Structure 1
Amino acid sequence: MKSAPRPSSPSKARPWALITVLPFVAAAVVIAVVHFSVCARLPEPLATHFGGVDGQADGFTSARGFLTLTLTLLLVFGTVFGLLVRLPEPSEGTPWLIAGGYSLAAAIGLFTCGTLFANAGATDASAVRLPLWELAVTLAVALLAGALGRLLAGPAPRPSGRAAGEGPRLDLPAGTSAGWSRAISSPPIVALGILLLGAGLLVLALADWPASIGLLIGALAVLPFAAARVTVDRRGLTVTSTLLPPPLRIRHLPLDRITEATSRPIAVFREFGGWGYRIRAGGSGLVLRSGEGMVVRLTNGKEFVVTVDDAVTAVALLNTYLDRARSRKEGA
């Protein structure tokens, strides 16, 4: 059977990759210039973490380590964001992804430059202060940078595909059984998981271990949902992570919990607000990309959605098993 048609990529008309990496390159250049201009007046080590209402320094890093960490983060984030917008199937969320990159690059650049200027001329790093109003300014500028990125990204692509309709059936002879299975993955989630893991390990190596815990926990929470296998057989629908042991399943729906299955194009950001395992009013789903997906209606009135190639075949087989289960129940 034919799969849902793929939307054309507007990146052919607009240089999304160049637009995406621009703020990270600009932030790296500005940080390098500022560091060069004040390096002779910097204490060793630098005050790089600030707490309390008065912004008193409570964490310190070597000047070289701080510069290396910042430039590495910009390089990694810029590379990841640049790769994400070059995916073969851009979604409606791609311009917002670009906007997020602009905000992130601006926040890193402003905080780093503010930290360098705050340390410049200090003889004792413990006396350095970074007041809260500077963080508020950084947040405001980051939001403005995000707005600029969204403006430069231009209009979002529109998903296209097969219209929703009544669930098909598979011509499966009585007394025979069949199975269907497909592997799915999400490059953005893989990249995010690797990014969190790499950043966590980098922070662990260059700073104190408490600062890396959140990043490492984030990586462990993201990576299991980056790749999965969807299976339809006489037991129902099963979704398992390819990065977890087989007994640990993302979702299993037996036939007695399903009323019908259909297929339709899924717009990830418009319908679910992002990639991954998502929960919303009226249902949940494992959505790793926009495009073809299967929608399973449950007996409790909710839906479970999973984006996967060849969803029409999976839906037809699942509906066939549902018809068989109903026939056996009515004949009992």
Structure 2
Amino acid sequence: MTDEGATDEGATGEGVTDEGAGTVQPGAGKPARRGARRGALWGAAVWSVGVLALLVALPLAARHRLPDPLATHWGGRDPDGSMSLTAAVLFPAGLWLVLVALSALARRYWDLRTPGAAAAVLAGGGVLLTGAQTSIVHANLDRVRWQDAAPMGIEVVLIMLATAGATTLAWLAGRRNAGPAEQRPAAGSPVLQVPAGERFVWLSRAANPWLQLLAAVLGLAAVAGALTAASGLAGPDWSIALSFGLPALAVLACSSVQARVTSRGLTVGFGPFGRPARHWAPEDLVSARAEERTAAQAGGWGYRINSRGTTVMLRRGACLVVRTRQGAEFAVSVDDAERGAALLNALIARSGQPTG
């Protein structure tokens, strides 16, 4: 659907479109996803530095319990190659720095053509190298000679599965959030009229870079706890990994949000994959509006519930606010909230519900 006199690009470059024609009119204004990109960059930086620290710290923390040289290669299940402790620290660290440089190049020059490639390289490479370093430390722990290192078996399979999983998830998340630089629509967007039988979609995303950074720090602490337990340095104690991992997932889910309006109503998805999600059909809603809100009014950042209802507050400014037939309100801070509210009100009116 096109609306003459108003361009309609939302927070992701995917504005109001006619699904049959498949066209999107470009918006006008300045980019609006700088916060999300900044959060992704900070998260990548924390992950890069954290993985480097783990690769160096794991063998050094266990150096008094490791042989020198230590086994670093296995032919089948038995060790058949070794490195000095210094080489075992520096080699994976140097390889990781190369992968970080490659991911930076991929993001800089090929991000539009291969979205998600940089994230996949960082995630998969980090899991592979830290997993390999952990298994090497565990196999050599408390051995007199490197030839006496424990055999490798299921560890290799688990590392490869974890690497494949991390690579796939990072690639999917990168592709989902890829797109041209978003642009805010011009002020004073008109109320859109939706002709009967016409299909459309409005999509807007928002992210809080500080919450993304916090999720990255917590996640890295969880990885460090898991690797310490898996290497045998601290015994089979997974409490640190769980105590940091669960909050990391919760913060990650609340650090970004996607609002989508179609003929089926409003869907709000959380986190990099848009899951979990909440959905309201047009007949479930009474009205929609755009309203200026602050974090203080919402009770803080993230997913908040107070006397004003439920608010997903990721940045100050306009929020898309809907009122349900049960009298509850749900607000989400996304760009182009005025246009999303206008489309929802058109859907509500079409379904025979009030819009006031």
Which TM-score tier does this pair reach, normalised by the shorter chain?
A: 0.3 to 0.5
- TM-score of the superposed pair, with normalisation by structure 1: 0.45
TM-score, structure 2 as length reference: 0.42
